[in-house]
Homo-oligomer: A and B are copies of this chain.
């Protein structure tokens, strides 16, 4: 058995603010600094979704990347692209939109939505120099 890992990259542009509403403004300012700026800032996020599986002998595909693109659009980009991550996204409600928390939330959006293969890894770039990765719970 021969597992291959196939990755699709997607981009979305969003505003966010790092802020913990259960803490004081002073705490937020001192912990998050400029990322706590009250009227939000934003990023061109780059998302890489990796699916593991054995290639289908009829197609050579672990998963059709056109289908994976559509799943990412339907489950993730439709909700996040050109949005404010603190205010506009039901599945991020109550979550501080750090890159760490975003990869976990995006994993949960995708994990049961793949028609073939198994979700293996997610990477999210907030900037060219900052990124977070997640392999699922208990990994």
Q: Residues of A at under 8 Å CB distance from B?
A: 1-11, 13-16, 18, 20, 23, 31-35, 37, 39-44, 50, 55, 58-62, 64-66, 81-84, 87-88, 95-101, 103-104, 127-135, 137-139
CB distance from A74 to the nearest CB of B (A): 16
Q: Cβ of A42 and Cβ of B59 under 8 Å apart?
A: no
Which residue of the partner chain, among B66, B134, B138, B139, contacts A33 with CB atoms under 8 Å? B66
Chain B residues near A66 (CB-CB < 8 A): 33
A91 to chain B, nearest CB (A): 15
Contact at B60–A96, with CB atoms within 8 Å? yes
Shortest A21–chain B CB gap in Å is: 11
**13 pairs of residues in contact across A and B, judged by CB atoms under 8 Å:** A3-B135, A5-B134, A13-B43, A15-B84, A32-B59, A37-B88, A40-B42, A44-B127, A55-B98, A59-B98, A60-B96, A61-B100, A62-B100
Q: Taking CB as reference atom, which chain B residue is nearest A87?
A: B39
